[in-house]
Amino acid sequence: MPEAVLVASTEAVATALPTLGPASHFQGLVSTHEASNHLGTDVSFKSSIPLRRQGGNLIPMPPRTVSVVIPTFNRRERLGKVLASLTKQTVALDAMEVIVVDDGSLDGTSEWLATQAWPFRLLALRQENAGPAAARNAGIRRASSEFILFLDDDVVPEPELVAEHLRSHEQSTTSLVVLGPMLSLPHYVQPWVAWEQVQLEKQYRAMECGDFAPTFRQFWTGNASVRREHLIQANLFDVTLKRGEDVDLGLRLANLGVGYQFNPRARGLHHAERSLASFCKAHASYGEMEVALFEGRPGGAEGVLSGNWQRLHPMQRKFLEVLLSTSSGPAAVQGVLELFLRSKVGAIAPASVSRAACSMLANLLFWDANRRTLGSARFSRIMQASS
């Protein structure tokens, strides 16, 4: 029988369970208030203990192997596709639980979840809008499984996705983050989304061919799994970061000795869609984050960024040098590129032209954010290193 869905506010749970800690997890038709009264203060929550009602008693539920954590915001239709595809996984469905964290959606996501039944255990949480880092942390804390598998609400898993993640973990003799590809649809209406997918596909091919090994930089939480205990040890996602929070956590996991492995068979289809404003904000945020990540580390931010700068195409690097040496150049060129990408001309332009525009825009935003974060003097040293 499908298991019932419990829809609860994460704040309400914290209020109802002051003695149980953030990792408490209750499932089935048991209310948080009832479970708190039943358990008192004698329960250890080093790991979560899922319960279900049987007769008049609360009894432990069988442990799951993997908890699929899905943060979502105003994407009810796409979330439905993700959940429907999870019902078709080749892994035994009673070996997994699904935790959907509604990050303050206004489209009726939580209400819709409350009316659904699924062949796996599904826990639906709701919180005030606080960003994906806070949403994933809420899911991790409520998870009851050994492994956490992160899926985005626009990544539709193919039937082998969950099984392939677990296979990689089971076959490894070391602690791993397993990364699966977010594969492209045949077409994307938005050229900046298409460009980002091309960049992802290039890295997937390079990792699959062995051109380079994945690192924390590829810890993209749209399709990735890791042991829950390692996430706890790394202190979870930094909720102050609205972009790049996955790479930030990935670095802390690497510092704990957790390795990275790419499994090309753990596939999901990326039904991506984002505004151009979101694209621009993201790439500027990546530039700021890159400085913060590497300050104080061997080589420092300047050393890492100098290497990245030298790997740019010479023509692109020269163009950026000219723009970034002026105060008004970056904003002016950004405006022109955005205008082109939003225009009817941009919509019908050859893919090579729109991709070139997206590449220039992303690099301009990234390096201008570097310049502003580092200061002009330090950034000048980065540009001079390639002269």
Same domain, 251 and 354: no
Give phi and psi for 256, each to the nearest 5. -85, -5
Same domain, 54 and 96: yes
Same domain, 246 and 294: no
1, part of any domain: no
Which CATH number characterizes residue 145's domain? 3.90.550.10
Given 214, 236, 270, which residue is the final one in a domain? 270
Two tokens, residue 77: 């239709």
Compute the radius of gyration of the chain from its Cα atoms: 22
Same domain, 148 and 11: yes
- Beta bridge partners of residue 268, listed in sequence order: 157, 182
Given 252, 270, 288, which residue is the final one in a domain? 270
Same domain, 177 and 289: no
214, part of any domain: yes
Same domain, 30 and 117: yes
Same domain, 178 and 308: no
219, part of any domain: yes
Same domain, 239 and 295: no
Same domain, 182 and 313: no
Same domain, 46 and 136: yes
* pLDDT recorded at residue 12: 38
* pLDDT recorded at residue 19: 26
* pLDDT recorded at residue 243: 83
Same domain, 280 and 155: no
Domain that holds residue 144: 6-270
Given 270, 285, 307, which residue is the final one in a domain? 270
Same domain, 237 and 323: no
Walking along the chain (387 residues) 10 residues at a time, the average pLDDT comes out as 44 32 28 28 34 57 81 97 97 94 96 95 96 97 96 98 96 96 96 97 96 95 97 96 90 97 98 96 93 82 90 91 91 97 93 95 96 91 78
Q: If you count DSSP H runs as helices and E runs as strands, how many of each does the chain have, helices first?
A: 16, 13
157, part of any domain: yes
Per the structure, the count of domains in the chain is 2
Alpha helices in 295-328 (DSSP H): 300-310, 314-324
72, part of any domain: yes
* pLDDT recorded at residue 372: 93
CB-CB contact of 207 with 213 (8 Å):
yes
CB-CB contact of 169 with 147 (8 Å):
yes
380, part of any domain: yes
